[in-house]
Structure formats: C-alpha cells, structure tokens
Copies of this chain bind each other. A is one copy, B any other.
Amino acid sequence: MGYAVGLMSGTSLDGVDAALVDISGENEKTKVQLVAFETYSIPAETLKRINQVLSIEESNVERICSLNVELGYLFSDAVKQICQKAESETEELEFVASHGQTIYHLPNPGHQQFSSTLQIGESAVICEETKTTVVSNFRERDMANGGQGAPIVPYSEYVLYRDEKRTRLLQNIGGIGNVTVIPKNANLNQLIAFDTGPGNMIIDELCRYFYQKEYDHGGAYAALGTVNQELLAELMAHPFISKSYPKTTGREDFGNEFTKQLLAKWPMAANDLIATVTEFTAASIAENLKPFIDSETDLIVAGGGSYNGTLIQMLKAQLPDVHVVIQEDIGYSSEAKEAIAMTILGNQTLHHKPSNVPSATGAKNSVILGKITYYN
C-alpha cells in the first residue's frame, strides 16, 4: 500500500497519538513499519469542551455538534505535524485511520436504551484538511453485530505478536486496563480480550486531587505509600473484577464518581491511597490473567502505565512465573501501539476485510469495521 497515519485519542485525554507507518499486505500478511510517532497535546480550551460533553449534565446537542468538527481539525493538525516531522506531505498518504474521541460507551443499556458507542472527530474534516481518504468509527459495526465494540486492538495484536511457542498476554494500561490473550500458535478465533478493570484512571484522578499533577510520574507517590489491605480487599470486591469475559468498562465504573466516593469513605494519607489504588490496578490485572498463564508466558505491558515503575513492580510480584516486559523494550513504542493498531484496522477496511475479533468482543461474526470517507 504505502504510508498511512493512525490516530488515537484515548479516554485518559492525555493527547492525540499519531503514528506514521509504512503498511502493506492484508489479513495475516499485513506488514507494518513505524516511521514516526508523536503525542500532540490537546489545547486547554478544547479539553474543557471535551470534558463538558463527557458529562451528562453539561453535554448538549449543540456542544457535541460543534466539538465533533473542532476535534476533526485537532486530529487533522496531528496528521499534518507527524507528516512534517517525517518530512513528507499529507497528500502522499494512502489513508488516515482515526479512532476518534469516545464521548460515550453504553455496552449494557438500561430501559429504553440501546447498546451503543459514540466517537467524535469529524472524518470529513480530516479528509478535507489532509487531502486523504479517512477510515473512522471502528466500533459501531461490531456492536451492531452483537459485540461490545471493544476491545478494538486485538486484531492488530494478532498480526503483530502471535508466536508459535509462547503464550502472549498483551496488557495495555491506559485510563482503563485491557488485555489480549494470544495463546501459543493461536488462530484468530482463539484470541481472548477484555478489559481487566482500572488502569491509570483512579491513580491520575487522585494525583490531580492531592497534587494537581496529571499522573504519578514513574510511580513515585505510590512508592512512598503503604498499601491498605482492607481497602484493597474492598476494591477487589468490585463486581467488574471477577465478572467473566467478554467485558468492558470505563468512566462509568471507575471515573470521577468512583474516586469521589473513595475519598469520602477512606480518609487516608495521600500516598497510601495512591499506593493502594496502584496495587488495585496490579491485582485486578493479575486476577484476570491467572487462568491463561502457563510455563511459557510473556506479559507485554503497554500504555502510560508501563512507565509507572511501582505498578510494574507490583505486577511482577503478583505474577512471579511470568516473563514481564515493557512493550517498548521489544520493539514498537508502547505509546504508539494503539495508533499503529488503527492503521492495521483501516488497512483492512479499505480492503473490505474484517478486523474485529468476535471471541474478544462477543460479536456473532467477523465483520468489516469502520466507515470510509473517500478523498478521491
């Protein structure tokens, strides 16, 4: 094929990830080479407006309508900048694959509600601004097929990480934790993937609350604290942790509301609380991964959480028989993982090929994900 840009803007709102790749082939024969990667920060004013539409109380149809286009321009800028960094032109791209900003995810609808998800960041704006065909909105079709629309990266992980002799557990720690299990010598139907529970979401929220910091840099605060076992036991009793897969979670379960209640109920020293919720992330991951571990297992940790040394130590302690590595150490940049994944999915879409993993999402069938906005 040629050059493509993958864009990911996650629930943690820590920036727009842009990966410029060289991609060719399709299905199992897809080849991807990372050319350049960067995370572009979201301007404070835009961030404010994203947070408005994330809230039931502050969101409204006008704000969502306008922000959809505003984020289209933000994502376009990310494409332009990553191309500039690699000294190439956006017109030379074969396509842009954009995840979009998730502003709501409703996999388990209530009365008179429908199973649904909503990503914004207008593809027509990206198409127009970058003069490139855009593939977007990857989650909806899987949900329409009975899936949860998440996780979205397993197909790309299958293409990139499958090994004949070793079981590979790909644990991403973003706002939420999610894993893809690729058993040794697996075919696509044997993949299992699901959300494990909180990733950095609670940790970050506490750092903002106690220290006006966006996150626990390197896990320093957690390292200074002591885990409160009583609170940890209560956290681990959250029904999501022991729920069987496929399962997905988000801000609905572990967002601001959750942290607010935690602070109200457990008045503790800041670092002890941060240490405990960090252990909660590690323990909930370990609890969910244990059934898949054999003697030849690699745990490959990616996402912002892979830079939290305390969290990684806790994970190693929880899983002594597993070979734990940081994704960045074995090749692809940890941060670039999801943006690269978007290009693999977008490439499949342009070839009219499926890229969901039914065993991971719970969908009935393999289906083509995404919508295409053709530039020409």
**Which A residues are within 8 Å of any B CB, using their own CB?**
45, 49, 53-57, 59-62, 64-70, 72-73, 103-106, 109, 112-118, 122-125, 127-129, 136-137, 140-141, 143-145, 349, 352, 367-368, 370-376
Contact between chains at B373 and A65 (CB < 8 Å): no
Contact between chains at B118 and A144 (CB < 8 Å): no
Nearest CB in chain B: distance from A83 CB, A: 19
Please give, as numbers and ranges, the residues of chain B lying within 8 Å of A124 by CB-CB distance: 137, 140-141, 143-144, 371
Nearest CB in chain B: distance from A329 CB, A: 37
Q: Which 4 A-B pairs have the closest CB atoms?
A: A124-B140, A128-B144, A59-B61, A124-B141
A sample of 26 inter-chain contacts (CB < 8 A) reads: A49-B112, A56-B60, A56-B61, A56-B62, A59-B59, A59-B64, A61-B103, A61-B104, A64-B64, A64-B118, A66-B109, A66-B113, A69-B143, A122-B140, A123-B371, A124-B137, A124-B141, A125-B140, A125-B144, A127-B141, A128-B145, A136-B371, A141-B373, A352-B374, A352-B376, A371-B372
Instruction: Given contact pairs A54-B61, A61-B103, A371-B371, enumerate 18 new A-B contacts (beta carbons under 8 Å).
Output: A45-B112, A49-B112, A53-B61, A55-B61, A62-B104, A64-B104, A65-B106, A65-B117, A66-B116, A69-B140, A72-B144, A125-B140, A128-B367, A137-B371, A141-B373, A352-B374, A352-B376, A372-B374
Contact between chains at B66 and A64 (CB < 8 Å): no
For A127, give its contact among B53, B65, B144 (CB under 8 Å): B144
Nearest CB in chain B: distance from A123 CB, A: 6
List the B residue with the shortest CB-CB distance to A67: B114
Q: Once the chains are docked, how many angstroms separate the CA of A372 from the CA of B112? A: 28
Please give, as numbers and ranges, the residues of chain B lying within 8 Å of A368 by CB-CB distance: 373-376
Nearest CB in chain B: distance from A22 CB, A: 24
Q: Once the chains are docked, how many angstroms separate the CA of A113 from the CA of B125? A: 15
Please give, as numbers and ranges, the residues of chain B lying within 8 Å of A60 by CB-CB distance: 56-57, 59-60
For A116, give its contact among B69, B113, B128 (CB under 8 Å): B69
Contact between chains at A141 and B114 (CB < 8 Å): no
Please give, as numbers and ranges, the residues of chain B lying within 8 Å of A140 by CB-CB distance: 69, 122-125
For A349, give its contact among B45, B127, B374 (CB under 8 Å): B374
List the B residue with the shortest CB-CB distance to A48: B112
Please give, as numbers and ranges, the residues of chain B lying within 8 Å of A65 by CB-CB distance: 103-106, 116-118
List the B residue with the shortest CB-CB distance to A102: B65
For A372, give its contact among B54, B67, B125, B372 (CB under 8 Å): B372
Contact between chains at B59 and A114 (CB < 8 Å): no
Contact between chains at A68 and B118 (CB < 8 Å): yes
List the B residue with the shortest CB-CB distance to A45: B112
Q: Once the chains are docked, how many angstroms separate the CA of A322 from the CA of B256? A: 64
List the B residue with the shortest CB-CB distance to A370: B373
List the B residue with the shortest CB-CB distance to A373: B371
Q: Once the chains are docked, how many angstroms separate the CA of A115 from the CA of B73? A: 11
Please give, as numbers and ranges, the residues of chain B lying within 8 Å of A112 by CB-CB distance: 45, 49
Please give, as numbers and ranges, the residues of chain B lying within 8 Å of A49 by CB-CB distance: 112
Please give, as numbers and ranges, the residues of chain B lying within 8 Å of A136 by CB-CB distance: 371
Contact between chains at B371 and A73 (CB < 8 Å): no
Contact between chains at A106 and B66 (CB < 8 Å): yes
List the B residue with the shortest CB-CB distance to A144: B128
Q: Once the chains are docked, how many angstroms separate the CA of A122 from the CA of B145? A: 13
Q: Once the chains are docked, how many angstroms separate the CA of A61 from the CA of B117? A: 10
List the B residue with the shortest CB-CB distance to A140: B124
Please give, as numbers and ranges, the residues of chain B lying within 8 Å of A70 by CB-CB distance: 114
